[in-house]
Homo-oligomer: A and B are copies of this chain.
């Protein structure tokens, strides 16, 4: 890559160092070299004649990564792994790495390690998002809000409950992610077609080969391995991982979509970053651009779901490399995208600003409509026939709505209902019903409490989640 290389937009504009360090060319080579050294040590321990000094020579130079040199070597051999072997050998002045390995014994395991480590990062940040969402949910536990279905006012809820609702979706996604992270299995040292032939030839001892592989897998930190693979691990594992990322992203995007709707109604703002100025031309605008961006990342992830989903089911025999270019793109880019999404989500959760007065004003306008079911029941209790009461309420509600829509002013439904003799409820009685606002939110506050408790329990074991803070967004 020359200095004028075209950058990866997702990595450079949106992803955080935690993920970039895993997938950058330098990061990858660091993992590879650690892997080669681990294999050498294990081979030496099992009797292969690799001098300790050779291993020391490799360790001495392992952080000297010269991408231009490696690139130049690849442009000669047209073989990326070979180029990286040569470069490392040249630095160490040795030729002891990669003994009995095929390229895939390196690349499959290294890439799975990149995936496993990235999953840990995503898991931690998802837990951090749950905690912040839980905090916001608690903050607005009892703030009555006009609940909407079909995007129109339906019944009251609370803002905290609305946040908990999206938190519930994120919790479900976290569960799946957590399971995959815990059991993600690695391919191991299996050779050209998966039979371990070359290692068996090298050691001429099946037990030693088994010990070698087990040692390496332990070194890599995996808890399970794939017993019967070919040249490659099944590509449907990539799909499973990316699908889990999409599920996490989708929960965030549902939340962000609703924030965009609420911003459009003037009920809240996603807020500004420190130092950010608004539109210079239109100072009244409070754009939900970060929430829009979250939705964009979710769309991006759906594309990588398609790519990895299309690789799945197309293995030919023991494997080929028609997946190679796809995985070079879809895997890192999917992790950059989910990382960018989570960074953005965390920032929004930090910065968002709720306009409580505007929310209260909307409830004020909508409550009589939202409460018609309850009013109906009170009228019946007071002795009015159910059908009579229903008709009276319906007619008045429609009249009040029409009045607003036709510009005759905001007609007060309570006044209309009080004036309707069929109902037999005085304005005072009606206002009394409406003033008992707490009842209209139903179990919303208790659902918030349960959500908050669940998040606490769920995230307790996720190291770093409670204190993680997002970087500055671009």
Given contact pairs A183-B175, A228-B167, A282 touches B372 in the complex (Cβ within 8 A): yes
Residues of the B chain whose Cβ atoms lie less than 8 Å from the Cβ of A235:
250
Q: Which one of B1, B266, B310, B406 lies within 8 Å of A302 (CB-CB)?
A: B310
Task: Please name 17 further chain A to chain B contacts, defined as beta carbons within 8 Å, in addition to the given A195-B447, A284-B398, A329-B337, sorted by A numbering.
Answer: A78-B473, A147-B318, A150-B320, A152-B285, A154-B192, A155-B195, A156-B193, A165-B229, A168-B228, A173-B236, A194-B447, A236-B250, A254-B312, A257-B314, A266-B404, A286-B401, A357-B407
Q: A157 at interface (Cβ–Cβ under 8 A)?
A: yes
Q: Who on chain B is nearest to A269 by CB?
A: B405
Q: A196 at interface (Cβ–Cβ under 8 A)?
A: yes
A154 to B278, CA, bound (A): 13
Q: Who on chain B is nearest to A198 by CB?
A: B373
Total number of A residues with any Cβ neighbor in B under 8 Å:
180
Residues of the B chain whose Cβ atoms lie less than 8 Å from the Cβ of A406:
355, 357
Annotate A250-268 by CB proximity to B: 1 below 8 A, 0 otherwise.
1111100110110111100
Greatest chain B CB density within 10 A among A7, A229, A373, A446 is at: A7
Query: Could you tell me if A357 and B405 are in contact, using CB atoms closer than 8 angstroms?
Result: yes
Given contact pairs A168-B229, A293-B324, A369-B284, A148 touches B330 in the complex (Cβ within 8 A): no
Residues of the B chain whose Cβ atoms lie less than 8 Å from the Cβ of A48:
none
Q: Which one of B9, B180, B226 lies within 8 Å of A168 (CB-CB)?
A: B226
Q: State the majority secondary structure of interface residues on A.
A: helix
Query: Could you tell me if B237 and A172 are in contact, using CB atoms closer than 8 angstroms?
Result: yes
Q: How many copies of the shown chain assemble into the complex?
A: 4
Of A20-28, A50-58, A111-119, which stretch is located at the interface? Answer: A20-28
A74 to B266, CA, bound (A): 28
Query: Could you tell me if A3 and B3 are in contact, using CB atoms closer than 8 angstroms?
Result: yes
Q: Which one of B8, B237, B263, B474 lies within 8 Å of A6 (CB-CB)?
A: B8
Q: A356 at interface (Cβ–Cβ under 8 A)?
A: yes
A172 to B328, CA, bound (A): 23
Q: What would be 29 A-B contacts, judged by CB atoms less than 8 Å apart?
A: A1-B7, A9-B329, A147-B230, A149-B317, A150-B320, A152-B264, A155-B191, A162-B318, A165-B194, A168-B226, A194-B447, A196-B443, A197-B442, A201-B374, A228-B448, A228-B451, A239-B247, A240-B243, A251-B313, A253-B312, A254-B313, A260-B322, A264-B265, A283-B398, A296-B324, A300-B329, A302-B307, A356-B407, A357-B408
